[in-house]
Chains A and B, each alone.
Chain A
């Protein structure tokens, strides 16, 4: 399931709901992305996330489908927020559920790596020097390349 929303989410509630009623599931893996208070050596007081609504939903759905193709997953949840967020706020939740831990952990890692390079979101940071757009990192592309060869 994909949700793109301005509102915060409750990690505990979301993880519980993901596995509820399905006793085939033996493990739930999750990644929660948070707003850091530093960026490029400067203090960050807030972050604004912009996205391309129609394409965001489409790309996240494609990424979810690809995870299901690669691993035996019973459930996938991606929640990504947009709008203005402050340090410590949650940005993203990726959660996967599977009969076994290997698939859940690997798929969760895969999903966050792909999301970072494929989902059309952009961050702008508020710093003492003013507002600036965050630049993409080569490391993110490298992290995605790790998954180029399907298991």
Chain B
């Protein structure tokens, strides 16, 4: 899976993009976010308030229950502020 981070999530995690295998036991977006939080303190801190975290899978907004598959592009970012 390719993980992408944007805006302050990218800054706090300290990484814009990384490749990870689908972690064992992770089946959906909620599971991935929980797994990321448990990785280390940077991820835990960046993702501590999930109410301000949006997720897109393969460039489409999805909910927390959206299933994940190996090869998905998962983007994690704060609410958008363009325009």
| Pair B7/A117 contact, Cβ less than 8 Å | no
Question: Which of B18-26, B27-35, B39-47, B72-80 participates in binding chain A?
Answer: B72-80
Question: Which of A6-14, A16-24, A52-60, A95-103 participates in binding chain B?
Answer: A52-60
Alpha-carbon gap, A57 to B11, bound state (A): 23
Nearest CB in chain B to that of A31: its residue: B83
User: In whole Å, how far is A83's beta carbon from the nearest beta carbon of chain B?
Assistant: 13
Binary contact track A35-63/B, C-beta < 8 Å → 1, others 0: 00000000000000111101100110000
Alpha-carbon gap, A52 to B6, bound state (A): 8
| Pair B83/A120 contact, Cβ less than 8 Å | no
Q: Please tell me if B81 contacts chain A, counting CB pairs below 8 Å.
A: yes
| Pair A121/B80 contact, Cβ less than 8 Å | yes
Q: Which of A50, A55, A92, A118 has the most CB of B within 10 A?
A: A55
Complex contacts, B60 vs chain A, CB 8 Å: 58
Q: Which of B6, B75, B77, B81 has the most CB of A within 10 A?
A: B81
Alpha-carbon gap, A51 to B80, bound state (A): 9
Q: Please tell me if A119 contacts chain B, counting CB pairs below 8 Å.
A: yes
| Pair B8/A120 contact, Cβ less than 8 Å | no
User: In whole Å, how far is A92's beta carbon from the nearest beta carbon of chain B?
Assistant: 6
Q: Please tell me if A88 contacts chain B, counting CB pairs below 8 Å.
A: no
| Pair A119/B83 contact, Cβ less than 8 Å | yes
Binary contact track B39-83/A, C-beta < 8 Å → 1, others 0: 000000000000000001001110000000000000101111111
Complex contacts, A123 vs chain B, CB 8 Å: 81-82
Complex contacts, B3 vs chain A, CB 8 Å: none
Q: Which 5 A-B pairs have the closest CB atoms?
A: A121-B82, A136-B79, A122-B7, A116-B83, A55-B59
B positions within 8 Å CB-CB of A: 4, 6-8, 11, 56, 59-61, 75, 77-83
A positions within 8 Å CB-CB of B: 33, 49-52, 54-55, 58-59, 80, 91-92, 112, 115-124, 133-136, 140
User: Can you list 6 A-B pairs with a CB-CB distance of less than 8 A?
Assistant: A52-B4, A92-B82, A116-B81, A118-B61, A122-B80, A133-B7
